[in-house]
Amino acid sequence: MFRALETGQVFAHICKSGAIGKVHSIFEKAVNIRVENKLVTLLCNDIDIMPSSLVSETPHGAWAKRIKIDENVLLTPDIIFIGNTAIIGDIVNAPMWTPISNEAIAALRPIHHEKIISNCRLVEKYLSENAPPPNENFPTKDISRFNPLDFIGLGLGLTPSGDDFLAGMLFSMHFMEKLTKVKNPSLPTLIHVISNNLQRTGEISQHFLHYALKGAWGRNTENVLLTLIDSDTDTLYRAVKKKLSFGASSGLDELMGCLFGIKEYLANV
């Protein structure tokens, strides 16, 4: 049995209440569990915490040797059982990660738009020099010509590039609304179109977009958004580098969406 290191808010609540589920999918660094109509995720060590995930001391590659798809899962306040085996323990002592509060975001004001734009350009420069070229279909300007339907399910993988880009847009636009307390007319439309067309992509990506639609980001995304507001270059680059380590291209795709969302938000408020 491996020790829980940290939980997200949603995962912690499910464990506290107790639940029964089934193993949905197994990967080198993660296991998805279906609990009723939602997915929650067990993560290996050194993986970014998300609202519906639990990070444990489990080493990479250990899941495939221990569990199988469709096995029964029992989530209790302190132990997670898969089949008849206790897989994760000491949940009650694991710290719960919570995103920065709306009040704390608002306290970051006054906002210097020029600084944010400058930091966005620094990130674009860093990505051009240190990351593979982004998807050529990604827009770089003019949200008036942007159609989210063109991006839902676009690309390969469990979370296609288009979905990761949309998630980044949603995260950054939610963040900017909380930061500026100014509504952007583009955001409700974006939310409406994506939420009504989730069937265009796969189930795991739907799960990810479900949280993005609510602005429920993970820690590495939050760190990037906070450093874009007002930070020195080294701190900004460290946050970006950490985000790039997420998935094959998911971190890059989400970052591109974040940058696009921020620039378009600032252009319309």
As a whole number of angstroms, the distance between CA 183 and CA 191 comes to: 13
Does 168 lie in the same domain as 150?
yes
pLDDT of the residue at 60: 87
233-244 and 219-229 helices, crossing angle to 10°: 150
Residue range(s) defining the domain that contains residue 64 = 2-97
pLDDT of the residue at 141: 58
Does 62 lie in the same domain as 126?
no
pLDDT of the residue at 61: 85
pTM for this prediction: 0.91
Report long-range pairs for 188-193 (Cβ below 8 Å, ≥24 apart): 190/148, 190/166, 193/148, 193/149
Does 189 lie in the same domain as 248?
yes
Does 253 lie in the same domain as 120?
yes
Tell me the percentage of the chain whose pLDDT exceeds 70: 96
The residue from 60, 82, 97 where one domain ends is 97
As a whole number of angstroms, the distance between CA 36 and CA 245 comes to: 31
pLDDT bin (cut points 50, 70, 90) of residue 180 is: confident
pLDDT of the residue at 93: 96
Does 166 lie in the same domain as 262?
yes
Does 139 lie in the same domain as 33?
no
The angle formed by the CA atoms of residues 223, 266 and 248, to the nearest 5 degrees, is 40
Question: Domain total for the chain?
Answer: 2
Is the N-terminal amide bond of 95 cis, ω within 30° of 0? no
Bridge partners of 26? 31
pLDDT of the residue at 184: 85
Bridge partners of 205? none
The residue from 63, 78, 97 where one domain ends is 97
- Report the 10 Å Cβ neighbour count for 179: 22
Does 125 lie in the same domain as 76?
no
pLDDT of the residue at 18: 95
Does 110 lie in the same domain as 86?
no
Does 244 lie in the same domain as 136?
yes
Q: Is residue 93 within a helix (H) or strand (E), and if so which, with residue range? A: none
